[in-house]
Amino acid sequence: MKARHLVLFIFFWVLLISCKTTSFKIGNLDVGNLVNQGVNVFNANNIDEEQEIQFGENMSAVLLGARPLYKSEEINLYVNQVGLWLASNSERPDLPWHFGVINSSSINAFAAPGGYVFITSAMLNQLTNEAQLAAVLAHEIIHVVEQHHLDAIKEGAMRDALTESLFVSVDAYQANTGASSKKKEYKAWSKQISNAAQDLYSKGLNRDDELQADQQGIRLLARAGYDPFAFITNLQVLQGISADDSSLALLYKTHPTPEQRLTALSHNIDELSTISGELLAKRFQKNIYSL
Amino acid sequence: MINFKSTYLTFMALLLVNSMTLSLLIVNKAHANNKNESSQPLHSSKTRDAQLVKSSKLYKKANNQSEVIETILANEPVIVHHRQRAWYFVATEQKLTGWLSMLNVRFNGVAKRTGELGVASAFGSLTKNTLPTQSTGIRGFDEADLKKAKADFKELALVNAFQITPSQVKEFALQGQLKTNTNIEVK
């Protein structure tokens, strides 16, 4: 073995040893066995709710690392009120739901496991009433309720790269490894989380999951007392924006086209045709104009 | 004397510029207020150019039991005026008006935007028919952003800090006259 290879081997061996941690459990995770080199592949079929929430926190932190929150407490609280009312009508009302507006010129919305939902300020800009806002949030809430992101990591190419570290909070990680944010162990852990989030949000979810989020989202909207056809309006508004508009690039890459979504929805909404709900345009504009 | 005259002229010029700026501000504010007062959401007063994706019956009322005025062919242009449940009230090129199923209508594309949105212009544009095009420094959110992103737990803490109690949520729904429709199952 050449001297250079020997040095490299010793370096990586020392790195591996230095990352061993103390015994500590979160849910059914043994954080004590947490390692950062990706050698400890996680059993994605055994994720409990606590881990799901933690995974969602980490994914959300990366989203917010890409673009920050829109800095208006009033608007964020308003979006939280709409979202929490919808979530209380969902199949998982007891999750710790959190909603936020991401300050971005891209038209998009995101969900993360465990109850995190984000809408971009540019998407908010496309809407004219509360029912339309609720429609965007309802689609994302269904992704969380149905655990679509967890399905994606179980089934997707990410599976081999998954390690337990993705399901551990930053506090637990630092407390049990003693790794400050400046240490290379922390940076390696943080990098793993970033890579996972990048995979999840740039590849997008399964097409069927997106269509299911539409089918159930429009029902959640109606169940919560909103005008369900605001959901259709949103898709038509998106469809009406030039397809090569850069603000839609990531949305189009990760979702079926609005035309495909409209066609799929049209086959399944007959039962909603007689339902009328609230639009709440004035309340929406009053809250948005609180800037 | 020359100095006094020069100072006096400069002072008068500044006064003139200030008063012009103030007038412009007042006019702009009044204009903005008028816009806000007269602004209506898309579904009630704005119109949009659209076309049909398939041949559809134009009904006299917003239900498919009502009288059929005409059958409108696929790709025919219409102007969408407003919506009632799943129906758009439209005007055709033949000057006919009536109700079309919204599912058969597609809005015509608007021009591609040339810049990024600023939040002020973004929210300000809610009352406009067209999308804003100014760039005021708010970036998008694409794969490159995700690739560069590092977890920001301080921002996450801000999200977690938005606390609303269940009773506040119920009060919010009550104020909006939102009631759970228990007949609808989400599945």
Mean pLDDT value of segment A19-27: 43
Cα–Cα distance between A150 and A155 in angstroms, integer?
Answer: 9
- Residues A155 and A168: their CA atoms lie apart, in Å, by 21
* DSSP-derived secondary structure for A90-139: SS-TTS--EEEEE--SS--EEEETTTEEEEEHHHHHT--SHHHHHHHHHH
What would the DSSP string read from start to end of B136-158? Answer: -S-----HHHHHH----HHHHHH
Q: What is the pLDDT of residue A144?
A: 97
pLDDT at B83 over 80: yes
The more confidently predicted of residues A218 and A48 is A218
Instruction: Tell whether A123 is covered by a domain.
Output: yes
Which residues of chain B make contact with A272, given a CB cutoff of 8 A?
86, 184
The region, left, alpha or beta by phi > 0 then psi within -120 to 50, assigned to residue A96 is beta
Give the Cα separation of A124 and A132 in Å (integer).
Answer: 9
- Report how many Cβ contacts below 8 Å link chain A to chain B: 249
Is residue B174 within 8 angstroms of chain A, CB to CB?
no
Q: Is residue A25 part of a domain?
A: no
- The string of pLDDT tens digits covering residues A162-196 is 666 677 677 776 666 666 666 677 777 777 777 78
B139 Cβ partners below 8 Å, 6+ apart?
A: A67, A104, A105, B116, B145
- Token pair in block for residue A33: 């066995």
Q: Which residues of A touch B42 (CB under 8 A)?
A: 128, 233
Residue A247 lies in a domain: yes
CA distance B22 to chain A (A): 23
Domain that holds residue A123: 49-149+205-288
- Who's near A102: CB < 8 A, 6+ residues apart? A63, A64, A67, A68, A69, A70, A110, A118, A119, A120, A121, B141
pLDDT exceeds cutoff 80 at B135: no
Runs of H (alpha helix) within A165-206? 170-177, 184-203
Is the distance from CB of A101 to CB of A75 less than 8 angstroms? yes
Mean pLDDT within B147-162: 92
Contact B107, B50 (CB under 8 A): yes
What the block records as the tokens of B140 is 């998008």
Residue A245 lies in a domain: yes
Sign of the torsion angle spanned by Cα atoms A252, A215, B165, A288 = positive
Q: For residue range A109-168, what is the model confidence (pLDDT) as tens digits?
A: 999 999 999 999 999 998 999 999 999 999 999 999 999 988 887 776 565 556 666 776
* Residue of A65, A247, A289 lying closest to B151 (CB–CB): A65
Q: Would an 8 Å CB–CB cutoff place B94 in contact with chain A?
A: no
* pLDDT for res A21: 39
The chain-wide mean pLDDT, for chain A, equals 81
Percent of chain B with pLDDT over 90: 48
- Residue range B46-64, pLDDT digits in tens: 788 999 999 999 999 999 8
- Do the domain assignments include residue A170? no
Which residues in chain A are closer than 8 Å to B44, comparing Cβ atoms? Answer: 281
Is B83 buried (19+), middle (13-18) or exposed (0-12) by CB count in 10 A?
buried
Give the span between the Cα atoms of A104 and B144, in whole angstroms.
Answer: 14
Question: Which residues are A163's β-sheet partners?
Answer: A41
pLDDT value of residue A285: 94
Task: Go through chain B and tell me how many residues it has.
Answer: 187
A58: which chain B residues are within 8 Å (Cβ-Cβ)?
Answer: 151
Chain B contact for A276, CB < 8 A?
Answer: yes
Six token digits for residue B101: 């199923």
Distance CA B43, CA A285 (A): 14
Domain count, chain A: 1
Q: Is A164 on the interface with B (CB under 8 A)?
A: no
* Angstrom distance (rounded) from CA A165 to CA B20: 62
**Residue matched to tokens 């551990």:** A168
pLDDT of residue A286: 93
Is A180 part of the contact surface with chain B (CB cutoff 8 Å)? no
Provide the pLDDT for residue B78.
Answer: 96
Residues 28-47 of B with CB under 8 A from A: 36, 39, 41-44
Flag whether residue A135 sits within 8 Å of chain B, measured between CB atoms.
Answer: no
Q: Which residue of B has its CA nearest to A100?
A: B159
- Cβ of residue A55 closer than 8 Å to a chain B Cβ: no
Distance CA B134, CA B121 (A): 8
Q: Closest approach of chain B CAs to the CA of A104, in angstroms?
A: 5
- B18–chain A nearest CA distance, Å: 27
B104 pLDDT exceeds 80?
yes
Q: Does B144 touch chain A (CB under 8 A)?
A: no
Which residues of B fall within a CB distance of 8 Å from A88? 166, 169
* Residue A11 placed within a domain: no
**Is A240 at the interface with chain B, CB within 8 A?**
yes
Element at A216 (helix H, strand E): helix A207-223
Q: Is the ipTM of this complex over 0.90?
A: no
How confident is the model over A93-104, as a mean pLDDT?
Answer: 96
Q: Do residues A113 and A197 touch, judged by C-beta distance below 8 A?
A: no
Model confidence over B117-132: pLDDT tens digits? Answer: 333 333 333 333 333 3
Of residues B18 and B129, the one with the higher pLDDT is B18
- C-alpha to C-alpha distance for B149 and B144, rounded to whole angstroms: 8
CB contacts of A63 in chain B (<8 Å) are 149
State mean pLDDT over B69-73.
95
Give the number of other Cβ atoms within 10 Å of residue A84's Cβ: 24
Q: How far apart are CA A36 and CA A189, in angstroms?
A: 6
What's the pLDDT score for residue A153? Answer: 79
